[in-house]
Amino acid sequence: MAPVIWGLDLSGMQWGKFKGKYMFNDIYHLRKTKMIVYQIAMIMCVCSESVGTAALSDYVDQRDGIKTRSGHHTSVRNIVGIFSFNIFVGIAVATIFGSGFFFDLFWPQRHETPAVKTAWKICSLLMCVLTLADAIALTVIVATQRATIDGLTNSEAQRYFDANGPPAPIYRKNAYCIASTVLLWLGMLGTFASTYIMWKSLAHDKSHGPFAAGRGPADDPWDVSNQQPVAEKIDRKSTKSEDTSPSSTGAQTPAHTADLEQGAGAGAGATPNTNTIPRTN
């Protein structure tokens, strides 16, 4: 028997539930919408985080390279700081809506306490605030800021940047920075949409339960009540094999049994032979 953690039966974690036919079914209220919108929020934010991490790494390497070759200190604190925050936001969004995605996929009929439902609402609202703040800050920094070298003007510092090579010191001319910003705005829109869908789903669950109109546990092929126990299957199979005995295994057929009964009856009705050989004196 699979263990139960926090009231969730781990036997509900089945690879078959990842099939599109089950993942995007219409058995549960807003299920298809949640599966799509949650993934948009997660994928966009995580992709923004990944591209931003690549840009962050390039600027850190650039700072170290210029420091090593010329001894000058390159200031990239603004871009490093915002991309570090972007990493945190991407992980947070993936944690909250990723959890909602997997819980709805594996345990769509789970019972949640009012405290848990309140936590879902608070966390989703917090994700909206974080992604909005992250998107605005990243947009402003990428659009208006650049890497600088302490003690040098931008024109004087440019030759050191040229000697070092990519990335471009002006952030808006770095394709990674632009791509990360665009993906983050898409992720922010997905986060807002996911929050709305989550709140709407929680309200429906409170009033009508998790199922869509006209649907119930009997419509879910993975519901425990729709799965025949293994012991019952074995009992039915053994009962069926006892009822039908094939003649090819040497068992007596009905015709054979009738012949035996007829022969036994004939033997019982016969009279014994009393004739004896006469004695001769």
Structure token pair of residue 111: 């019972």
| Cα 76 from Cα 55, distance rounded (Å) | 11
Structure token pair of residue 107: 């345990």
How many Cα atoms are found within 13 Å in the side-chain-facing hemisphere of 36? 7
pLDDT score of 216: 65
Vertex 253: Cα angle to 252 and 258 (nearest 5): 95
Task: Using 50 as the pLDDT threshold, list the residues of the chain that sit under it.
Answer: 230-234, 245-255, 257-258, 260-261, 264-281
| Cα 267 from Cα 111, distance rounded (Å) | 75
**What are the residue ranges of helices labelled H in 145-278?**
154-164, 175-208, 230-243, 254-269
Sign of the C-alpha dihedral computed for residues 191, 34, 179 and 149 taken in this order: positive
Structure token pair of residue 195: 């929050």
Phi, psi of 28, rounded to the nearest 5 degrees? -105, 150
